[in-house]
């Protein structure tokens, strides 16, 4: 006991001695005031630089003159840092004045940008190239890369949707042609696609090449822009394991539709006004079709990776599962993918590979339930045992409708698309000298596609014939091989920096498919399920085809930099495609660009402006956007003909599609002027671009009469000329002050497109309610114009043309008055006029984020202004001449209710239900909170004993706020028809998505 007491006294003595030393040390470290100036190596002051006392959280920030003042102990150390400069430490050593000189940090100012067959420093770019941080894309819950780019890049327009497996449409710098607008994707040097079977979690860097000079190295493929993706690679160091999981819940927006009581009131009114006997509506039924068809969806996204490396080799492996259970019955998407990237070097030789394997499966919706939920009326039950298959879908005299029961079609018509894909490349490099390097790249991609459609016995719509069970299957395989040889020369001669690239590439594409169909598929008596194999049933139909194409190319690029002031870039690519005839096979695609870094001139003296560069470029790109054999004639050799006195049947052949051997490359000619500006030590950056793009000899198939004998699709010709002019602006600011950092950026895009000419002797092209006319934008709204409602017979009789002819003699009070534009005294299609544009005047994106200690926040807003869109939903529910549901709360015109803008409702008359009028055109403006997210990184002190080096929790939401006057489900809809870009006809909307994620590494 005495021993223990002695030990306690000794411990207390030691503690007392320790604290006495601490007190003495504290007195010795008396606080003094230190001041000074922080400047660059050249002597220019650095405002907003951080000055922190080492091993403490105490600090200060310099003012505009780079000066600071701080209280510290005389034997402490100050840490000086600022964005774009290297961090340094300076001991105080009893000094009261401490000045710091910071050197530029090349790793920040000279960011490397992949530009195709090589890389450049960002400050040396002369073309329009945008960089996107991979984490900005990966933190969103997306299916494809394109979804994640929305709002992040100027000049890039993305329109997607929430259907499982849906791929977004992406358009870079406006409309370049009249067919496909999606850009070229290059992943690790392989020309491919970043579609729904590509895992966005694998992205390391992503660059968007927007102008012709930046994209010219890809020649004939780059007319719609280029997106270059580099996937993650291993790094030297110990084995690193990263795991992330994200679970999301999605909800579908809803229409505001009438219930049974309101529907019956309006439906009876429409029949009464038409003089028809009313339907015998089943008032005991009140079906909410949206409740039956829409549900809460769920997305699961699991990702794991392993990476590491030594002195001579690195590796990266990843696996991903992505599952999306849709918000509409019968829709889901699953993807499983694996990736292996590795590289190694020995002396002057390097080799590496990038391989990705994926399998995706989509259960696609049959019909369009987005439309059917309002085509079906609330008086129709979900199920009706009297109907074949047992589903309700209306009954004549009781519930007439053209709608489809979505539950029935989901049950009786099943479509499954499955794709197994292998893609990757193997490369090797030989460093012949310090300034000369040879690289060989072999790319290979193959996919095995499986399509299966099973039509079970059962009906889903009124007056539908009873069809037998049918199974339709096809199996396809695509194969792409790519061979590339490049030689890269890079050397400095004093102030001259020269890089020369020459190369040759060859790509071959092959697709083959076999298909088969059978009818009267039996049911397995043991399972009650249909036999989903082609060896069952009868009436077989089989077929198949093979398509092949190849592209040979020669390329060269020269980059010249004089004294970091004058930049010059020249590219020439020559492409030859098998899709064109021999005389038009080859095309040349040159570009020139230049830059002037004014801030590096000796006469330029500015402490405020840190970076100032002017850019200018001109380039020509091509497009061979046609099928494999468009320049050749198509022959039908399955015909038969009767000849001779004996009327003998002989086989015959006939040309069924006109050929055009004169097809040639589309040519995009683009001029770009740009400005890059950095101030406040490059914390605040401005990028501005103005461009003019003109596509000549646009390849397009305009319809011709079948009497020509052409029955194989519209023949392609080099017809139209399309022009785009646009302006892009991005302003970004970022700053770190002690433990707090924040960033914000706003981007602005304005693009005006014009169809210069249609070609083929045509001046205009009408598709649906749109007019494409030479000298105007594509797909302008071409409709009848409404002019209020007739309130009485006197107004009808008084509505005359200049000759005194009553224009609408058959109208009655409450009907819509249409404008007689041509003054001929009647309302016909000749009175249609161009009344608006589906193209927005401008689009914007706002991005902001902040970090404090372990917490972070980010958000992304997008906005579109100036577009007029066509509401397909209202064109159905507001028409009343057929039997669909109606919008809730409408107040149609009646003698008792004349003060309304909604016409009288009547069954069987198209006067008030014409879809070709401006009645259903709406303002398409919107502002949307596309993404908002919060994250928390657990502190190291919590993780130390667990073996986990990093752990992070995230909570985010997408599409939760939309400010718009549009009455449809979503103003951000997509329509792949270029001429009907602004038509919302049952487009799958973007979904509200709520996500929770966990990430950790060890």
Q: What is the pLDDT of residues 666-691, one digit of tens each?
A: 999 999 999 999 998 889 999 999 99
* 307-335: average pLDDT: 95
Q: What local confidence, expressed as pLDDT, does residue 721 receive?
A: 93
Q: Give the tens place of pLDDT for each residue, 915-934.
A: 999 999 999 999 999 999 99
Q: Say whether pLDDT at 641 is over 90.
A: no
| Cβ neighbourhood burial of 718 (10 Å; 0-12, 13-18, 19+) | buried
Does residue 10 surpass a pLDDT of 70?
no
Query: Percent helix, strand and coil across the chain, each rounded to 5?
Result: 15, 50, 35
Task: State the average pLDDT for the chain.
Answer: 91
C-alpha to C-alpha distance for 297 and 364, rounded to whole angstroms: 15
Extended beta strands in 147-194, E state: 156-159, 169-172, 184-187, 190-192
Residue 14 pLDDT exceeds 70: no
Helix (H) or strand (E) holding 765, with range, is strand 764-767
User: Does 176 have pLDDT greater than 70?
Assistant: yes
Q: Which residues pair with 136 in a beta bridge?
A: none
Residue 26, pLDDT score: 42
Rounded to whole angstroms, how far apart are CA atoms 693 and 608?
35
pLDDT at 807: 96
**Is 954 within 8 Å of 933 (Cβ atoms)?**
yes
Structure tokens at 469: 């069970």
> What's the rounded mean pLDDT across residues 826-834?
95
Query: What confidence tier does 109 reach under pLDDT thresholds 50, 70, 90?
Result: low
**Sorting pLDDT into bands at 50, 70 and 90, what band is 640?**
confident
Calpha distance 192→181 (Å, rounded): 15
Residue 252 tokens, joined: 């579908």
Contacts of 913 (CB under 8 A, 6+ apart): 878, 879, 880, 881
Q: Match 């309130």 to its residue by tokens.
A: 791
Write down the pLDDT at residue 262: 97
Taking only Cα atoms into account, the Rg of the chain, rounded to an integer number of angstroms, comes to: 34
What is the pLDDT at residue 27?
Answer: 38
Cβ(620)–Cβ(668) below 8 Å: yes
Tell me how many degrees the CA angle 303-304-307 measures, rounded to the nearest 5.
Answer: 140
Residue 558 binned pLDDT confidence (cut-offs 50, 70, 90): very high
Q: How many Cα atoms sit within 13 Å of 887 on the Cβ side?
A: 18
pLDDT at 748: 97
pLDDT score recorded for residue 253: 96
Closest CA to 747 of 867, 612, 861: 861
CB burial of residue 199 (10 Å; 0-12, 13-18, 19+): buried
How many residues in total does the chain contain? 1002
The separation between CA 259 and the C-alpha centre of its own chain, rounded to angstroms, equals: 37
In the 8-state DSSP scheme, what is residue 892?
Answer: -
Per-residue pLDDT at 11 exceeds 60? no
Residue 15 pLDDT > 50? no
| Whether residue 119 has pLDDT greater than 90 | no
pLDDT above 80 for 466: yes
Q: Give the burial string for 641-654 (b: 16+ CB within 10 Å, else e).
A: eeeeeeeeeeeeee
Q: What is the pLDDT of residue 639?
A: 79
**pLDDT higher than 70, residue 347:** yes
Number of Cα atoms under 13 Å in the Cβ half of residue 182: 18
Q: Look at residue 23 and tell me whether its pLDDT is greater than 70.
A: no
- What whole-number distance in Å separates Cα of residue 859 and Cα of residue 139? 11
914 closest CA partner among 802, 777, 807, 811: 811
Whole-number pLDDT of residue 8: 37
pTM here? Answer: 0.87
| Contacts of residue 220, Cβ cutoff 8 Å, sequence gap at least 6 | 551, 553, 573, 575, 577, 587, 589, 621, 622, 623, 624, 665
Report the pLDDT averaged over residues 21-38: 66
Q: Residue 145: enclosing H or E segment and its boundaries?
A: helix 145-149
pLDDT at residue 579 above 80?
A: yes
Range name among 97-111, 381-395, 865-879 with the lowest pLDDT average: 97-111
Average pLDDT over residues 140-148: 91
Torsion of the alpha carbons at 523, 526, 527 and 531, rounded to the nearest 10: -30
Q: Residue 904 has what DSSP assignment?
A: P
Does the pLDDT value for residue 252 go beyond 60?
Answer: yes
Q: Is 736 exposed, middle or buried (0-12, 13-18, 19+ CB in 10 A)?
A: middle
Confidence of residue 661 (pLDDT cuts 50, 70, 90): confident
- The percentage of the chain sitting over the pLDDT mark of 70, rounded to a whole number, equals 96
175 versus 572: the higher-pLDDT residue is: 572
Task: Tell me the C-alpha distance between 404 and 459, whole Å.
Answer: 9
Q: Find out whether 484 and 443 touch, Cβ atoms under 8 Å.
A: yes
Rounded to whole angstroms, the Cα distance separating 224 from 197 reads: 22
What's the rounded Cα separation, in Å, for the pair 593 and 374?
55
Taking alpha carbons only, the member of 87, 115, 100, 81 closest to residue 35 is 100
Residue 408 φ/ψ region, left for φ over 0, alpha for ψ in the -120 to 50 degree band, beta for the rest: alpha
Q: Where are the beta strands (DSSP E) in 434-537?
A: 436-455, 470-493, 496-519
Give SS3 for 720.
Answer: strand
pLDDT of 24 above 70: no
* pLDDT given for residue 106 in this prediction: 53
pLDDT in tens, 266-294: 999 999 999 999 999 999 999 999 999 99
Q: Report the run of H or E that residue 931 belongs to, with start and end.
A: strand 926-937
Largest interatomic CA distance in the chain: 136
**Beta-carbon neighbour count of residue 940 at 10 Å?**
12
Q: Residue holding tokens 């060989």?
A: 440
CA 96 distance to own-chain centroid: 57
pLDDT value of residue 790: 96
Give yes or no for residue 596 having a pLDDT over 90: yes
Q: Tell me: pLDDT of 551 over 50.
A: yes
Rounded to 5°, the CA angle 719-721-722 comes to 135
Instruction: Please determine, for residue 787, whether its predicted confidence score (pLDDT) is greater than 90.
Output: yes
């Amino acid at each position: 006991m005495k021993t223990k007491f002695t030990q306690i006294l000794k411990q207390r003595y030691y503690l007392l001695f320790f604290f006495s030393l601490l007190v003495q040390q504290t007195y010795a470290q008396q606080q003094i005031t230190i001041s000074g100036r922080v400047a660059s190596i050249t002597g220019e002051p650095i405002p907003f630089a951080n000055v922190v006392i080492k091993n403490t959280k105490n600090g200060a920030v310099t003012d505009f003159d780079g000066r600071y003042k701080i209280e510290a102990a005389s034997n402490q150390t100050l840490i000086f840092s600022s964005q774009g400069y290297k961090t340094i430490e300076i001991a105080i050593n009893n000094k009261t004045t401490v000045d710091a000189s910071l050197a530029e940090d090349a790793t920040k100012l000279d960011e490397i940008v992949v530009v195709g067959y090589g890389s450049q420093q960002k400050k040396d770019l002369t073309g329009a190239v945008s960089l996107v941080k991979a984490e900005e894309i990966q933190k969103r819950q997306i299916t494809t890369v394109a979804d994640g780019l929305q709002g992040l890049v100027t000049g890039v327009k993305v329109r997607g949707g929430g259907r499982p497996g849906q791929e977004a449409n992406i358009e870079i710098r406006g409309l370049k042609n009249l067919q496909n607008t999606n850009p070229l994707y290059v992943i690790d040097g392989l020309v491919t696609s970043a579609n729904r079977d590509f895992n966005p979690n694998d992205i390391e860097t992503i660059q968007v090449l927007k102008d012709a000079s930046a994209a010219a190295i890809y020649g004939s493929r780059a007319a719609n822009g280029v997106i270059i993706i580099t996937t993650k690679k291993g790094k030297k160091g110990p084995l690193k394991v990263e795991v992330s999981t994200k679970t999301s819940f999605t909800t579908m927006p809803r229409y505001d539709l009438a219930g049974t009581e309101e529907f019956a009131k309006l439906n009876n009114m429409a029949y009464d006004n038409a003089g028809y006997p009313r339907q015998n509506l089943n008032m005991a039924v009140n079906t909410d079709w949206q409740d039956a068809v829409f549900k809460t969806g769920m997305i699961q996204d699991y990702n794991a990776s392993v990476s590491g490396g030594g002195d001579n080799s690195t590796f990266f492996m990843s696996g991903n599962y992505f599952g999306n259970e849709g918000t509409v019955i019968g829709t889901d998407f699953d993807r499983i993918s694996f990736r292996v990237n590795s590289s190694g070097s020995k002396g002057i030789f390097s080799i590496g590979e990038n391989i990705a394997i994926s399998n995706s499966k989509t259960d696609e919706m049959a019909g369009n339930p987005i439309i059917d939920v309002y085509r079906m009326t609330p008086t129709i039950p979900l199920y009706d045992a009297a109907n074949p298959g047992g589903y309700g879908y209306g009954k004549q005299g009781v519930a007439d409708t053209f709608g489809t029961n979505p539950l029935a079609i989901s049950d009786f018509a099943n479509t499954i698309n499955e794709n197994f894909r292998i893609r990757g490349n193997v490369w090797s490099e030989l460093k012949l000298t310090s300034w000369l390097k040879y690289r060989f790249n072999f790319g290979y991609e193959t996919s095995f596609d499986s399509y299966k459609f099973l039509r079970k016995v059962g009906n889903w719509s009124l007056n539908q014939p009873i069809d037998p069970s049918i199974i339709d299957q096809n199996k396809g395989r695509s194969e792409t091989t790519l061979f590339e040889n490049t030689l890269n020369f890079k050397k400095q001669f004093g102030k001259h920096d020269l890089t020369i690239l020459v190369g040759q590439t060859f790509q071959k594409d092959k697709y083959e498919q076999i298909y088969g169909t059978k009818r009267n598929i039996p049911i397995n008596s043991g399972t009650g399920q249909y036999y989903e194999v082609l060896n069952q049933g009868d009436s077989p139909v089989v077929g198949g085809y093979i398509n092949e194409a190849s592209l040979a190319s020669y390329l060269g690029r020269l980059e010249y930099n004089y004294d970091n002031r004058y930049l010059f870039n020249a590219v020439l690519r020559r492409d030859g495609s098998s899709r064109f005839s021999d005389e038009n096979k080859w095309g040349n695609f040159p570009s020139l660009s230049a830059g002037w870094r004014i801030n590096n001139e000796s006469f330029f003296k500015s402490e405020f402006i840190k970076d100032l560069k002017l850019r200018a470029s001109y380039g020509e790109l091509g497009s061979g956007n046609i099928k494999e054999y468009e320049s050749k004639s198509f022959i039908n050799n399955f015909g038969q003909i009767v000849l001779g006195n004996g009327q003998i049947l002989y086989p015959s052949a006939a040309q069924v599609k006109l050929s055009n051997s004169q097809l040639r490359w589309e040519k995009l000619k683009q001029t770009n002027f740009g400005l890059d500006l950095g101030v406040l030590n490059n914390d605040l950056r401005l990028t501005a671009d103005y461009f003019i793009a003109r596509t000549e000899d646009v390849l397009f198939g305009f319809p011709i009469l079948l009497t020509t004998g052409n029955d194989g699709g519209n023949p392609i010709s080099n017809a139209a000329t399309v022009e785009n002019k646009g302006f892009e602006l991005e302003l970004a600011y970022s700053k770190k002050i002690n433990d707090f950092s924040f960033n914000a950026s706003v981007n602005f895009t304005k693009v005006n497109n014009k169809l210069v000419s249609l070609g083929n002797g045509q001046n205009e092209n009408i598709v649906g309610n749109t007019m494409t006319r030479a000298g105007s934008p594509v797909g302008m709204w071409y409709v009848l114009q409404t002019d209020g409602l007739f309130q009485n017979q006197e107004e009808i009789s008084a509505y005359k043309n200049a000759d005194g002819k009553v224009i609408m003699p058959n109208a009655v009070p409450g009907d819509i008055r249409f404008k007689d534009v041509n003054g001929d005294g009647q309302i016909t299609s000749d009175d249609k006029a161009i009344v608006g544009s589906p193209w927005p005047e401008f689009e914007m994106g706002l991005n902001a984020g902040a970090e404090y200690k372990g917490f972070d926040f980010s958000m992304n807003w997008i906005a579109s202004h100036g577009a007029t869109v066509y509401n397909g939903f209202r064109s159905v529910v507001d028409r009343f001449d057929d039997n669909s549901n109606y919008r809730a709360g409408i107040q149609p015109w009646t003698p008792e209710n004349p003060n309304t803008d909604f016409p009288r409702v009547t069954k069987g008359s198209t006067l008030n239900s014409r879809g070709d009028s401006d009645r259903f055109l709406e303002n398409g403006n919107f502002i949307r909170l596309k993404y908002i997210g919060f994250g928390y990184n657990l502190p190291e002190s919590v993780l130390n004993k667990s073996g986990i080096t990093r752990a992070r929790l995230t909570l985010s939401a997408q599409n939760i706020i939309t400010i718009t006057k549009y009455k449809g489900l979503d103003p951000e809809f997509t329509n792949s028809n270029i001429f009907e870009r602004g038509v919302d006809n049952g487009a799958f909307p973007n979904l509200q998505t709520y996500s929770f994620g966990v990430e950790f590494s060890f």
